[in-house]
Copies of this chain bind each other. A is one copy, B any other.
Amino acid sequence: MGSLTGGDPSLLRRINSAAVLRALRDGEPSCSLTDLARETGLSRPTVEGVVEGLAEAGLVAETGVSGSGGRAGRPARRFRFRAEAGLLLGIELGPRRVAAVLADLAGHRLGGGVREVSTRATADERLAGARAVAAELLAGREDAAPLRAVGVGSPGIVGLDGTVTLCTALPGWTGLDLGGRLRAAFGCPVQVENDANAAVLAERWVGAAAGADDVVMVLAGLSPGAGSLIGGRLHRGHGGAAGEIGALHLLGRQATPERLLSTSGEPLDPLDEMAVARVIAEAREGDRRAGAAVGRFVARLVHDVAALVLALDPELVVIGGWAVGLDEVVEPVRRELERYCLRTPRVVASALGDTAVATGALRLALDQVERELYAVGGVSSR
């Protein structure tokens, strides 16, 4: 062990600390020092020292004593991971709304909130909306646990530093230092990711893509996009633009969503979730023109999905966004892919629906604290 840490005793302490924390988080609801020594392979005195430190940092609590201890005759002290020692936020910054989910350090959902925002809102107005939703969620808490990390899902190309490289869907978004602005607002680490990328992470975490490593998620909506996992890892592309398929409808024919979904011959204006929901509802009630419009929209979606599937050859396609409301979507996509693709992936609807992006953002926040807590130790420096 000493050689792996280069003889740095504080690094060794952090590695031990991470091992004990992980054992506490993943093990029984409460563990004795003997349990932890067995789980981690560390000596009992080492575990005892680490647990004292973690307790001082607020990450571990003593749950009491049990009769049969590690050493004959002595009652054993038992401990648990204090998931309540910090809070995490996952935020969706979308064209028409800001949504957030609040969770504890174990990723358990504590609450959620949504606020409508105009598609024409400035960047400042949209960020104010995010702060307001977060403030409402945090204000409802009785404890004073600190916010440890925030994850954000947003349309557009997002750089690794959290700056929006390019976004055509939200006014004032291109060039915005989204990560920096939110780090300043929340006073904690902030991870920013493209919305479809966040959504595919969410579906793999707790949704329709659990257990799958090669996944394409299509997010149909005002700002259509796709997020892909290759070998279990997010495929961001050379410049973070992978899956930005919004332009596919421009290619070769005038198949914009506005025209496809029109029942009047004139482009649908404004094109928004409500207008689309109306067309879908009319189609369900048997309206012929609405039925044809939905058919065109599905054909468009099939084209986008097929292009992604032919390029990437995933094992699973998850259809999310607007299309989740369309029971009529998954089966035609599946059928058409069988016609076009040499190897056909499974096709399923999103399990998370309109919570996918915020849930994926929460996963980013959880990844952030797990890197801090479990990779090289605790947050005792706070």
- B312 touching A312 by the CB < 8 A rule? yes
Within 8 A of B (CB), among A283-340: 299, 302-303, 306-308, 310-315, 339-340
- A310 touching B340 by the CB < 8 A rule? no
- A310 touching B245 by the CB < 8 A rule? yes
Q: Which residues of B contact A248 (CB under 8 A)?
A: 306-307, 310, 340
- B308 touching A311 by the CB < 8 A rule? yes
Q: Which residues of B contact A237 (CB under 8 A)?
A: 214, 312-314, 343
Within 8 A of B (CB), among A212-234: 213-214, 226, 228, 230
Q: Which of B242, B251, B253, B299 contacts A311 (CB 8 A)?
A: B242
CB of A72 closer than 8 Å to a CB of B: no
Q: How far is the CB of A314 from chain B (nearest CB, A)?
A: 6
- Please give me the residue from chain B that is nearest to A157 by CB atom: B342
User: Given the complex of chains A and B, what is the CA–CA distance between A302 and B248 in angstroms?
Assistant: 11
Q: Which residues of B contact A243 (CB under 8 A)?
A: 310-311, 313
- A343 touching B306 by the CB < 8 A rule? no
- Please give me the residue from chain B that is nearest to A166 by CB atom: B342
Taken residue by residue from 242 to 276, chain A's Cβ proximity to chain B (1 for < 8 Å, 0 otherwise) reads as 11111110111101000000000000000000000
User: Given the complex of chains A and B, what is the CA–CA distance between A246 and B307 in angstroms?
Assistant: 10
CB of A189 closer than 8 Å to a CB of B: no
User: Given the complex of chains A and B, what is the CA–CA distance between A339 and B247 in angstroms?
Assistant: 9
- B214 touching A244 by the CB < 8 A rule? no
- B242 touching A166 by the CB < 8 A rule? no
Q: Which residues of B contact A375 (CB under 8 A)?
A: none
Taken residue by residue from 52 to 69, chain A's Cβ proximity to chain B (1 for < 8 Å, 0 otherwise) reads as 000000000000000000
Q: Which residues of B contact A307 (CB under 8 A)?
A: 248, 251, 307-308, 310-311
Q: Which residues of B contact A228 (CB under 8 A)?
A: 311
- A340 touching B242 by the CB < 8 A rule? no
CB of A341 closer than 8 Å to a CB of B: yes
CB of A239 closer than 8 Å to a CB of B: yes
CB of A241 closer than 8 Å to a CB of B: yes
- Please give me the residue from chain B that is nearest to A314 by CB atom: B238
CB of A172 closer than 8 Å to a CB of B: no
Q: A241 with B311: in contact, given A252-B303, A253-B253, A306-B247 (CB under 8 Å)? A: no
Q: Which of B244, B255, B299, B310 contacts A313 (CB 8 A)?
A: B244
Q: A343 with B311: in contact, given A251-B306, A252-B299, A306-B247 (CB under 8 Å)? A: no
CB of A235 closer than 8 Å to a CB of B: yes
Q: Which residues of B contact A214 (CB under 8 A)?
A: 237-238
CB of A180 closer than 8 Å to a CB of B: no
User: Given the complex of chains A and B, what is the CA–CA distance between A307 and B312 in angstroms?
Assistant: 11
Q: Which of B165, B303, B311 contacts A312 (CB 8 A)?
A: B311
Q: How far is the CB of A60 from chain B (nearest CB, A)?
A: 35
Further 8 A-B residue pairs, CB within 8 A, beyond A244-B343, A245-B310 = A238-B313, A239-B315, A241-B310, A241-B313, A244-B341, A246-B342, A247-B306, A248-B307
